[in-house]
Structure 1
Amino acid sequence: MRQGITEEQSRLLTSWLGEFSVVQDCSWPLHDTNVLHVVTSSGEGFIVKASTTSHHIRREIAAHAGGFEGLRGRVPALRHASVEARILVTEFLPGVLVEGTPAEDDPETYRQAGELLARIHRPAGDSCTYATALAAKTRAWMDRAHGLLPESQLESFEQELDALRPGVAQLVATHGDYQPRNWLQDNGQIKVIDFGRAEPRPWVHDLVRLSHQRFVGRPDLADAFHSGLDKMVAPAEADLWRLENLNQAIGTVVWANQVGDTAFEQTGRAMVERVLSGA
């Protein structure tokens, strides 16, 4: 068994799948989760995710427990899971990752992705504490950003946070990392994978990274996405949208620096500049 898979996890896999072989190690560098494409002796394909430390396993299991009604074949189907052992098994979803392929520049990809996201966003109730907690998390990131960002930017962040009045947040079941690296293209059909960052949040959370990456200089992609999603940020959501941007921008810088991902840290710095400039 692959290094990093515990004896307990290995035992569970054998009890669930019987004999199997590893086709591909799909684990991401710098992440603490093992992701394996495996095939059983009967020819069935599965994705195994296992960790001894990551909270993403719990989040993904919870996301599947909430259900993806009407989306079988467009999102992975959960077959087996153990929160205690931090391991899950989903059916293998055929397709090619959109990132780095011509599909990443095709408006139709984004129209379908927006349409899928609208179906993933199941209502999860209202929260009077979500915005307050997110502002506190943002300030915690700011405390760790001294020396990474100019003090003038940190002061601007503080002023921005003080001026926001986001109020009650309407929560939905968000994906948490909605972008082309987590989309598959299969004969023209877009599918969504990796719900390891899924949690109840405002819907705008899933819009932030796309807005700072794929939509920059590509209004056609943004228009296609919103056409599928059938939703735009409303004036009443402006402060919450601003708060999500502030949080993810500074969080990207600090987290990427912490794990040594220089390219992603630069992405975060660009996000910070874009947010503070009002772009």
Structure 2
Amino acid sequence: MESWHRNRLSAGQAEFVETRLPGVRFLNDLSWNLVDTAVLEVAHGQGRYVIKAAGPSNRHIRRELDAHEAWTEAWARQERAPILVHANPSLNLLITEYLEGYLVEGSAAEYESGTYLQAGQLLREFQAQTVRTDSRYEAAATEKAMAWLETPHRIEESVAGKVRGVLAAYRPEPVPVVPTHGDWQPRNWLMNGAELRVIDFGRFEFRPAISDFCRLAVQQWRTRPELEAAFFEGYGSDPRGSRLWNITLLREAVTTAAWAFQVGDREFEKQGHRMLADALANYRTGSSPMLPAQPGNFG
């Protein structure tokens, strides 16, 4: 039993896979190895599949299942996202069909405008499936950022103090929330020919639509405004508003810096500290340079 999954799955998880995919064969370990999520490419018969599994305290598999069960069908029908074939929530495990394509991150496609045009179109389609008002989201997100500051991190105390001051002064209001991917960036995109595809829904959640712009805004868009322009051409509008956008970027920066330190991702931690500096600079100047003159609303 151990030969095909290389001890990445529990005995119960491996047994479940073998009952659903008899004679399963290991092909590749695709895990990031930052958290306890195992991602294994396997073969069964003439097909290829991806197994995702984690320990009982890991919440990402449950989030991914929520996304597949209700929200990814439109993409999956177009072969733009994986199709869920088996799942066992009690074992924290799911199996999807393998999606062909190469990872956009690190490829030429990462800095091609056409990639971001498609990314905007796909995200708009995903988020537009439904919208609801959440009276607690902003308060909970702010409390969570505050809580991250009480966990181990390498944020300078002077910086942490400024962040606490901004978060404490913020007055949350009800906001519209939509289905969000949660980690919308090139490391979760595949390119198959000229077609963009989407993977990894482990951070799926209902959030404000702008939350899916954060990764891109502080990475690829930072030095390549033409990619940002292509994205919003595909998305159809730019729904960022200064108050919500700035606080979203600040909370994201805190989470990034603290989480990356705790899992030992030095490059991502460095990005988190840069995000903190930029977000606080926006508060000092009262500006948000990435905003349009007349931001639209999600609808």
| TM-score normalised by the chain length of structure 2 | 0.88
Farther off after superposition, 63-72 or 267-276: 63-72
Farther off after superposition, 126-135 or 151-160: 151-160
CA-to-aligned-CA distance 1:215-246 (integer Å, 9 cap, x gap)? 001110000011111121344xx322222211
Equivalent residue number for residue 211 of structure 1: 217
Q: CA 1:47–1:143 in 2, change beyond 3 Å: closer, same or farther?
A: same
Deviation at 1:171, TM superposition (A): 1.0
Instruction: Kindly report the root-mean-square deviation, in angstroms, between the aligned alpha carbons of the 2 structures.
Output: 1.5
Q: Which AA in structure 2 matches 1:33?
A: T
Does residue 143 (structure 1) correspond to residue 137 (structure 2)? The answer is no
Does residue 11 (structure 1) correspond to residue 28 (structure 2)? The answer is no
SS at match of 1:216: helix
Equivalent residue number for residue 46 of structure 1: 49
Does residue 129 (structure 1) correspond to residue 132 (structure 2)? The answer is no
Deviation at 1:199, TM superposition (A): 0.8
Q: Which AA in structure 1 matches 2:86?
A: H
In structure 1, stretches of 5+ residues that fail to align are none
Farther off after superposition, 65-74 or 173-182: 65-74
Deviation at 1:145, TM superposition (A): 6.0
Q: Distance in 2 between matches of 1:44 and 1:239?
A: 48
Of 2, 7, 18, the residue aligned with 2:6 is: 2
Once the two structures are superposed, the pairs formed by residues 32-43 of structure 1 within 5 Å of their partners are 32-40=36-44, 42-43=45-46
Residues 166, 240 of structure 1: 8 Å contact kept? no
| TM-score normalised by the chain length of structure 1 | 0.94
Identity in percent: 37
Once the two structures are superposed, the pairs formed by residues 1-279 of structure 1 within 5 Å of their partners are 1-40=5-44, 42-53=45-56, 54-72=58-76, 73-121=79-127, 122-144=129-151, 148-235=154-241, 238-278=242-282
Structure 1 moving runs of 4+ over 4 Å: none
Q: Which AA in structure 1 matches 2:101?
A: G
Q: Distance in 1 between matches of 2:200 and 2:141?
A: 23
Residues 28, 42 of structure 2: 8 Å contact kept? yes
Deviation at 1:60, TM superposition (A): 0.3
In structure 2, stretches of 5+ residues that fail to align are 283-288, 290-299
Q: Which AA in structure 2 matches 1:102?
A: A
Deviation at 1:247, TM superposition (A): 1.2
Equivalent residue number for residue 285 of structure 2: none
Q: Distance in 2 between matches of 1:116 and 1:224?
A: 13
Q: CA 1:216–1:30 in 2, change beyond 3 Å: closer, same or farther?
A: same
Residues 120, 173 of structure 1: 8 Å contact kept? yes
Residues 97, 181 of structure 1: 8 Å contact kept? yes
Q: Which AA in structure 2 matches 1:49?
A: K
Report how many aligned residue pairs link the two structures.
275
Q: Distance in 2 between matches of 1:69 and 1:260?
A: 35
Q: Which AA in structure 2 matches 1:58?
A: R
Deviation at 1:66, TM superposition (A): 1.2
